[in-house]
Chain A
Amino acid sequence: MIRNLGGAVALLLSSTAAFAASHGETGVTIVLPEELDIVDPCEASRSNVGRVVLQNVAETITELTPDEGLQPRLAESWEDLGGGTWQFKLKDGVTFHDGSAFGATDVAHSLERIKSENISCEIGAKFFGGIELTTEVVDDTTINITADPAQPILPLLLSTVTVVPEETSMDAYVDVPVGTGPYTFDEYNRGQDIKLSLNENYWGETPTVTNATYVFRSDSAVMAAMVANGEADIAPAIALQDATDPEMDFSYPNSETVYIRLDTEMAPLNDVRVRQAMNYAVDREAFIGTILADGTLLATAINPPSTIGYNHDLEPFPYDPEKAKELLAAAAADGVPTDMEITFIGRNNNWGNVVETLEALTAMWADVGLNVKLQMVEVAEWLEHYSNPFPEDRGPEIVAAMHDNANGDPVFSVYFKYASEGLQSGVRDAGLDDMIAAATAATGDERAALWSDLFEYIQMEQVYDVLLFHMVGFSRVNPRLDFEPSIRTNSELQLSQISFK
């Protein structure tokens, strides 16, 4: 009997080795927190889709890299022809996974498709809202793209556009994405896994990883256990409490910035002294290493520090409750209703420990005499408060939000968050609108300088919001891999950047 039991245990143990190494020595298994509902490359700006498809299966015309800035990918070079038109020279000799040749007509089709009215592509909705794109195919490897209104950063915008063959349907999402990338999309066993394998005809350098399997687990503890157990190699997004092993766990700036959007049109928030007081009242350092992860940075802009034009000279507001009280007293003396109730809208599950963060902020504001009432709501109700037009019968309101910009340029954020017509802007400032327009239209060093001035104006002169934290994410990586997560890990996971030790 005991011998039989021992045999059964031995059998179990031997089968364990089989599932731990099932992906092969040059294959990797990646465990994602969310199953992919759609695998179409035009949805690659969504992090769960992007981590599988972006630059692995479907490539972009240009590529933003954290250290080198904007680089060519499917383009060789580009040139501003003026009048909103840019000319792109494309790589020659590139083929799609279906064997067809890549060319200018595919780029034209991909740009048209992301704006198709019959499917709802996130890349089109997120990056090209209000922009008309027209294309002129000059020859097989040359295309002129005109944006109306003119986009000085069109090459950067094209780093978001995945290129698909011109035969791809305009009316339906694809089930099997076809691109030019180093990996082909082989299988999608819905609910279970996705399998990619090496594209033997890839135009670029051959990557080390030969195949990848993506599996989906929504529980962070399980994702971490899978990497610890050798069942997976990378868990790109685990929770702070599961990142317990310094040998395997990495923290990285995840391009998310937490801030409090103020409705600057209403009293008492229309007085700059009240806005300053709200900033001085917050002990930002107290959050880090307690309810927020170590490594979280204090923010002085709505974009992460790697964004062009980030003003590194700006200092976060120091914690100075006495100064906050003085400012409020001065405002009250001038008739500003500083004791008026301010509704503070937070969104459930917006980030880890969101409730604790917002409750602590509320308490800090109460300590200096502000009357802030916290209200946690679900995403749809939160959007009603966050997005214009705001409810007409509202009182003074502030909204906690987390904004993601991994695209390297403030243009992806600033118009939406600060322009008078911006969808989530609580600011109505014609001067600022002009500054945004000027920075958006500028190029090169002038552009960086204008953004830098603009951030100083927002943070120091007008104090239009309460900027708080640049957040960090956590990944667990199997020690057999030579891979370190970066700011891009929030939106993509390029298999070609992974090698083995």
Chain B
Amino acid sequence: MKTFLRKRAVASAFSLIGLVILVFFLSRLTGDPTDLYLPVDASAEARENFREIHGLNDPLLVQFGRYVWDLAHFDFGMSIRRAEPALDAVLRGFAWTLQLAVITMTLVTVMAIIVGSLAAYRVGGVFDRLATFFSLIGASAPDFWIAIVAIVVFSVGLGWVPTSGTGGWEYWILPIAVLFIRPFGLILQVVRGSMISTLSSAYVKTARAKGLKNRPIIFVHALRNAMLPVITVIGDQAAALLNGAVVVETIFGFPGVGKLMIDSILQRDFTVILAAIMVTAFAIFVMNLLIDILYAVLDPRIRY
């Protein structure tokens, strides 16, 4: 296991280095942040001064060398736009996104496993048909549309929850509900498919022949074996949320890392873009590692 972890860490470090190089040079291709930061009437002198302050006049390779040197000292640089260290802005946003992702994925996982398993138990039954119908709608409905409709219905119409923002628990209901729908639909389908195949296997038939009740058959014996493909999809969906639930964060005014990343790209705030990508890449590396470990826990045949 230790060898596996070491190998994964080295491979991930190479990936991160490649990512830094790629993002650094690609973000520079988008143009000069001076054009976006200063007003169109700003004088050439003011533009030159701005470039000088932020080191944008130096050759690209010099800028890259300076960035790597600072990075080696865990200094991600100052945000061009925000008058604060880039890493502070990113970690603050990431903390919000992490909470949103953890709560949503926990609810999604629990609900999708329960509903998917029950749907698989009587394939073609009323519950299965309803679950399949709603999960397909959920998996294919666009986030921004659901978010706006949810605000119009539940906030403006019924007045049950606030439209947006942060605060008490009630502010989390709509963002989590909107984020819940798509991964729930996808994971439910995978759980259902995997459980159908597991429930038709020989050991389940044996358990039934022995007179075991349905609940232990589904949730103890079959579920554990059906979980491997489900874990993969859960990891995939969680990674998407960690990258930032951009649409939901933007509409609900949630100060997460996804919104920060989009704003930084639009404003050409290079240091924040790079810091955000590094932090989310590291988080995804940690999550993938956890999933690998979970594989081994669920299936004793898997050893690294």
> Which of these, A15, A119, A126, contacts B39 with CB under 8 Å?
A126
Pairwise interchain contact B40-A37, C-beta atoms closer than 8 A: no
Pairwise interchain contact B42-A126, C-beta atoms closer than 8 A: yes
Which residues of B22-53 have CB atoms within 8 Å of chain A's CB atoms? 30-32, 35-47, 49-50, 52-53
Pairwise interchain contact A126-B35, C-beta atoms closer than 8 A: no
> Which of these, B52, B82, B148, B251, contacts A37 with CB under 8 Å?
B82
Chain A 118-133 interface mask (CB, 8 Å, partner B; 1/0): 1110101110011000
B40 contact set on A, CB distance < 8 A: 383, 386-387, 423-424
A129 contact set on B, CB distance < 8 A: 41-43, 45-46
CB distance from B272 to the nearest CB of A (A): 10
Chain B 71-93 interface mask (CB, 8 Å, partner A; 1/0): 00000000101111000010011
Say which one of B116-124, B153-161, B217-225, B281-289 lies at the interface with A. B153-161
Q: How many residues on the A side are at the interface (Cβ–Cβ under 8 A)?
A: 51
Q: Which residue of B lies closest to A378 (CB)?
A: B31
Pairwise interchain contact B160-A40, C-beta atoms closer than 8 A: no
Bound Cα distance from A231 to B96, whole angstroms: 22
Pairwise interchain contact A222-B163, C-beta atoms closer than 8 A: yes
Pairwise interchain contact A192-B165, C-beta atoms closer than 8 A: yes
B267 contact set on A, CB distance < 8 A: 37
Interface assignment of B216: CB less than 8 Å from any CB of chain A? no
> Which of these, B47, B160, B251, contacts A13 with CB under 8 Å?
B160
> Total A-B pairs in contact (CB under 8 Å)?
137
Pairwise interchain contact B32-A12, C-beta atoms closer than 8 A: no
Interface assignment of A1: CB less than 8 Å from any CB of chain B? no
B300 contact set on A, CB distance < 8 A: none
Interface assignment of A190: CB less than 8 Å from any CB of chain B? yes
Say which one of A213-221, A246-254, A269-277, A283-291 lies at the interface with B. A213-221
Pairwise interchain contact A125-B42, C-beta atoms closer than 8 A: yes
A229 contact set on B, CB distance < 8 A: 155-156, 159, 162-163
Pairwise interchain contact B167-A19, C-beta atoms closer than 8 A: yes
Interface assignment of B193: CB less than 8 Å from any CB of chain A? no
A379 contact set on B, CB distance < 8 A: 35-36
Bound Cα distance from A118 to B93, whole angstroms: 28
Pairwise interchain contact A231-B46, C-beta atoms closer than 8 A: no
B162 contact set on A, CB distance < 8 A: 16, 19, 229, 231
B79 contact set on A, CB distance < 8 A: 37
Pairwise interchain contact A191-B81, C-beta atoms closer than 8 A: no
Interface assignment of B255: CB less than 8 Å from any CB of chain A? yes
CB distance from B174 to the nearest CB of A (A): 11
Q: Which residue of B lies closest to A172 (CB)?
A: B83
Interface assignment of A175: CB less than 8 Å from any CB of chain B? yes
CB distance from B42 to the nearest CB of A (A): 4
CB distance from B45 to the nearest CB of A (A): 6
Bound Cα distance from A217 to B37, whole angstroms: 20
Bound Cα distance from A119 to B83, whole angstroms: 10
Interface assignment of B243: CB less than 8 Å from any CB of chain A? no
B83 contact set on A, CB distance < 8 A: 37-38, 40, 172-173, 175
A and B contact pairs by CB, cutoff 8 A, 16 listed: A12-B160, A37-B79, A38-B82, A45-B39, A120-B38, A125-B42, A126-B41, A190-B84, A191-B92, A192-B165, A218-B253, A221-B151, A222-B148, A226-B163, A231-B162, A380-B36
Of all A-B residue pairs in the complex, the 8 with the closest CB atoms, nearest first, are A191-B255, A129-B43, A125-B46, A380-B31, A173-B83, A125-B42, A37-B81, A217-B253
